[in-house]
Chains A and B, each alone.
Chain A
Amino acid sequence: MSNIQFAQLSDQVECDPITNIDPKSLLGHWINSNPDTISIARINITEANGKLQLQVFAVGPDGPIDWGTATAEVFAGNPASSTGAGFMCTYDFGFAEARFQAMIMKGLLVLAQFHTFKDDSNRASYFMREYYAMTHEHF
Chain B
Amino acid sequence: MDYKQKSHLHPDLLNPAAANLNPDKLLGRWINTNWETRGIAECIVAREGDDITVSIIGVGEDGPIHWPKALATPLANLEEEAGQRTPAATATFDLGFMRADTHLRINKGVFVIVLFATFLDDSGRANYLNREFFYRHS
Chain A residues with CB under 8 A of B58 = 6-9
Query: How far, in Å, is A17 (CB) from chain B's closest CB?
Result: 3
- Distance in angstroms from B95 CB to nearest chain A CB is 5
Tell whether, in the assembled complex, residue A112 and residue B114 are in contact, meaning their CB atoms are under 8 Å apart.
yes
Contacts of B16 in A (CB 8 A): 124
- 0/1 interface trace, chain A 118-129, chain B, CB 8 Å (1 if under): 010111111111
Task: Please determine whether A40 and B5 come into contact, CB atoms closer than 8 angstroms.
Answer: yes
Tier of interface size on chain A = 35 or more
Selected from B21, B78, B96, B129, the residue in CB contact (under 8 A) with A128 is B78
How many A-B contacts at CB < 8 Å in the complex?
183
Which residues of chain B come closer than 8 Å to A121, judged between CB atoms?
Answer: 1-2, 14
**A5 in contact (CB, < 8 A):** yes
Check A75 against B116 for contact (C-beta < 8 Å): yes
Q: Map CB proximity to B onto A84-117 as digits: 1 under 8 Å, 0 otherwise.
A: 0110100101111011010100000000101110
Contact between B127 and A39, CB atoms less than 8 A apart: no
- The size class of the interface chain B forms with chain A is 35 or more
A57 CB to closest chain B CB, in angstroms?
A: 10
A59 within 8 A of B: yes
Q: Is B108 engaged at the interface, CB distance under 8 Å to the other chain?
A: no
Separation of A87 and B79 alpha carbons in the complex (Å): 22
Using a CB–CB cutoff of 8 Å, the interface residues on chain B facing chain A are 1-10, 12-14, 16, 19, 21, 38-40, 58-61, 65, 67, 73-81, 88, 90, 93, 95-98, 100-101, 103, 105, 114, 116-119, 121, 123-131
A contact set with B: CB distance below 8 Å: 4-13, 15-19, 21, 38-40, 58-61, 65, 67, 73-82, 85-86, 88, 91, 93-96, 98-99, 101, 103, 112, 114-116, 119, 121-129, 131
**5 further contact pairs, Cβ within 8 A, besides A123-B13, A124-B14:** A16-B124, A40-B5, A60-B3, A78-B130, A129-B80
